[in-house]
Structure 1
Amino acid sequence: MAGNGASADATTAAGASRKRDTRLDVFRALALLTIFINHVPGQFLEPLTHKNFGFSDSAEAFVLISGLAVGLAYGRKFAGSRLAVTVQILRRAFSLYVAHIMTSIVTFAIFAGGALWFARPELLSEINLRAVVDHTEQGLLGMVLLGHQFGYNNILSLYAVLLLMLPAMLWLHGRSPLLLLALSGLLWLGAGLWHVAPSNFLDDGYWFLNPLSWQFLFAIGLAVSIRRSRGGHLPRSVLLAALSLGYVVLSCLWVALSWWHYDVSLGLPPVLTGFDKTFLSAPRLLHVLALAYLIATIPALSRWSALPLTHPLTAIGRHSLAIFIFGTILAMVGQVLMIVTGKNPWFGTLYVAGGLGLHFVYARYRDWLAGLGSPVATKSARQAA
């Protein structure tokens, strides 16, 4: 979750009402709100999010939706002007990189401020902050080079790298969609088998969300959206729907009943049978794809999600980057307050409920701000002057 490079935050209701498919906005909004809830752990709303009812969570949903959105935004444009579109994509990737760095700095300041204000120095040992406190020079360099990332602050860096890979994906798709998916799948499999991932600078291990693995989900969304934009459709199969529903139900039972102790690996590598999030193991990948297939092919769900452009959920999804940054900052403040209040779940629940409301308020503010620069608003301002 996570902002999306496909949709400019300045899109206004008047200009996009006849063009924009709001279904992506709605599900992106739900993913962003869920990410916020899960980023303030220890309160009563967290167990209600869908990560507790299946193998995947809002991160998988966000990356898949992002792939769908960039396919709509850049698929046709890239065929007409590769260089210009590549420059646009790289500029967007750089914007996400800057947003990631600034959000990380603000996160550090929030925890440092909490440590000073509440006399709780242990706050600087949370969410992977201690390495930067103890090794400032290496830590700052690691932050800038993406070799050290704070907990709950690793989605924008993943998305920035995925956008850097996007021009190559679009070029491969132009050659053949099957070629893109085959090479992307091989990269996903190889990264999972041999644990190939960007390394952390200050400690052993890898990025929490490995872009070499997650790019496969992104590429699937890209290929599907370009196919849909060219008049293609998802295959509607009773058998495929039954398999998807069965897998979703099995996943729900597995998580709800804590069947993790059952060994179903059959000697196969963990990337094919495990539940690892870093390398996006197959059970997690299949779960989000099964959910997406059911949502896309069940008419009632598709109709429900096609909300008006003025709907509050649509507004949140339309301003996804700004909303994600806003939600991350709120969540980091919430984590500090949860710690200093003894992780009181009632306080956390009230805080998260209020934060959800602020998401809608901030989205409306972004709509109002975007409207000030629209041609209609500019003309009205000139007439008033």
Structure 2
Amino acid sequence: MDPLENIPDRDIRLDACRGIALWFVFVNHIPGNICSWLTLSHYGFSDTTEVFMFVSGLTCTMAYGHVFRSAGAWTTICHTVRRSWEIYAAFLLLMLFLVVAVHWIDADLADDANVAIVLQQPGEALSRAAILQYRPVNTDVLPTFVLFHLLFAPLLFFLLRRPNATLAASALLYGLVQIYGWNFRGWPTNDWYFNPFAWQFLVTLGGWWVVVGRWRLMPLVTSRPLIMLSAAYLIWALVVTMSWVNPALELAVPQFLKPLIYPIDKSGLDPLRLLHFLALAVCVTNLAPAHWAAMRSRVLLGAVRCGENSLEVYCVGVLLSLAAYAFLGTVSGSALAQVMVSATGVTVLTGFATLLTWLTGLAAPRIRLF
């Protein structure tokens, strides 16, 4: 069976998931925002980053698989390299916009936005940013996506020819990272926040699912025992995360377990985070079928528009979150102000994405990793 003949077309649910994730990212990027309690980050071990990585593997395999089938390997490579360049350029422009925004809004925000070093050592900072070692606040995910997209064509070729071996190699690399902590160095300190050696597993898993996984594992994913097991794990993760803010729930985590599960590292995609995302994916898959009527609602249509323009919406969201943080710090930090700022930001992002979709006149699915 030719795997290229069985790659599905674009799934609108993926754009909706990515759009909702973008809303959550914006809300979470505002420090101390009470509306962050509406997002995933407070209710389990994983958050929107896992959604982005896995969905990216899905959508890229779908889109580039069709390109590979119709136009060949060289055209596929050209598409992936071009998209990698677009994300790279967006990262550099976003860094410059952040510096300008801090200068205009409030110079005291330089440390919060991690751009003070650009003002102090502009030459060194810009050169380090050019090789993806320096990253202002909330831009850490972009260099990881630059690298993933640059290497996605060879990953796709391996997935199409040896999908199981490719997934096994990806899992092996992920496991070695958990043991040895391999990562790229950042600047001026620390490693890459989103360790590419670890997070590549979710991208590969998404691609593998498109090529062979959905045919082999869908009966298992929709089986009652796995759904119940996934739900139980999600409930346990919820209780554990709630214990971090409510000491009365600390008994949910026995003392002998704490050294085994803590710390739950985000940078290296801790196994508990990975399992939490997989459990969440199982439940969402069963709750939101392909022809779910709610996908035609206005709210989810707005999420779809954001998902279609994910890179642009993410970059604008980073700038809006900085402006929102400055507003809450200088005008009002009340709960009502936080709700109003969050709602306004989500509305602006949705309107911006809708405008982009209208201007570009999407007649065909666009290729996205991010």
TM-score by length of 1: 0.82
Flag the 1:266–1:78 CA change in 2: closer, same or farther, 3 A.
Answer: farther
Flag the 1:333–1:59 CA change in 2: closer, same or farther, 3 A.
Answer: same
Tell me how far 1:175 sits from its aligned partner. 2.7
Match of 1:125 in 2: 111
Q: Distance in 2 between matches of 1:224 and 1:305?
A: 25
- Secondary structure of 1:357's counterpart equals helix
Flag the 1:338–1:261 CA change in 2: closer, same or farther, 3 A.
Answer: farther
Flag the 1:114–1:152 CA change in 2: closer, same or farther, 3 A.
Answer: same
Are residues 1:101 and 2:92 paired?
Answer: yes
One of 68, 87, 102 as aligned partner of 2:58: 68
Match of 1:288 in 2: 277
User: What do residues 330-359 of structure 1 show as CA deviations (whole Å, max 9, x unaligned)?
Assistant: 112112223334744432321111111112
Match of 1:13 in 2: none
**One-letter code of the match for 1:53?**
Y
Q: Distance in 2 between matches of 1:300 and 1:22?
A: 11
Tell me how far 1:131 sits from its aligned partner. 2.7
Q: Distance in 2 between matches of 1:46 and 1:368?
A: 30
- Mapping of 1:150-229 within 5 angstroms? 150-203=136-189, 205-227=190-212
Tell me how far 1:134 sits from its aligned partner. 2.8
Tell me how far 1:160 sits from its aligned partner. 1.4
Contact 2:13 2:290 in 1 (8 A): no
Q: Distance in 1 between matches of 2:217 and 2:234?
A: 25
Q: Distance in 2 between matches of 1:158 and 1:305?
A: 33
**One-letter code of the match for 2:113?**
I
Flag the 1:339–1:192 CA change in 2: closer, same or farther, 3 A.
Answer: farther
One of 278, 285, 310 as aligned partner of 2:267: 278
Q: Distance in 2 between matches of 1:83 and 1:161?
A: 19
Contact 1:100 1:156 in 2 (8 A): yes
Are residues 1:84 and 2:75 paired?
Answer: yes
- Secondary structure of 1:179's counterpart equals helix
Match of 1:378 in 2: none
Match of 2:4 in 1: none
**Range with bigger deviation, 85-94 or 322-331:** 322-331
- Mapping of 1:258-273 within 5 angstroms? 258=244, 259=250
**Range with bigger deviation, 104-113 or 32-41:** 104-113
Q: Distance in 2 between matches of 1:110 and 1:49?
A: 26
Q: Distance in 1 between matches of 2:74 and 2:263?
A: 40
Tell me how far 1:106 sits from its aligned partner. 0.7
Contact 1:43 1:346 in 2 (8 A): no
Match of 1:46 in 2: 36
User: What do residues 158-194 of structure 1 show as CA deviations (whole Å, max 9, x unaligned)?
Assistant: 2111112212221221232111111111111222221
Q: Which runs of 5+ in 1 are unaligned?
A: 1-17, 116-120, 376-385
Tell me how far 1:252 sits from its aligned partner. 0.8
Contact 1:214 1:280 in 2 (8 A): yes
Q: Distance in 2 between matches of 1:294 and 1:266?
A: 27
Contact 1:307 1:314 in 2 (8 A): no
**Range with bigger deviation, 258-267 or 63-72:** 258-267
TM-score by length of 2: 0.85
Match of 2:349 in 1: 359
Tell me how far 1:322 sits from its aligned partner. 1.9
- Secondary structure of 2:292's counterpart equals helix
**One-letter code of the match for 2:104?**
G
Match of 1:118 in 2: none
Match of 1:243 in 2: 229
- Secondary structure of 2:232's counterpart equals helix
Q: Distance in 2 between matches of 1:136 and 1:106?
A: 14
Q: Distance in 2 between matches of 1:86 and 1:362?
A: 30
Q: Identity over the aligned pairs, expressed in percent?
A: 24
Q: Distance in 2 between matches of 1:281 and 1:19?
A: 32
Q: Distance in 2 between matches of 1:348 and 1:142?
A: 35
Q: Which runs of 5+ in 2 are unaligned?
A: 1-7, 245-249, 365-370
**One-letter code of the match for 1:194?**
Y
Aligned residues: 348
Contact 1:100 1:153 in 2 (8 A): yes
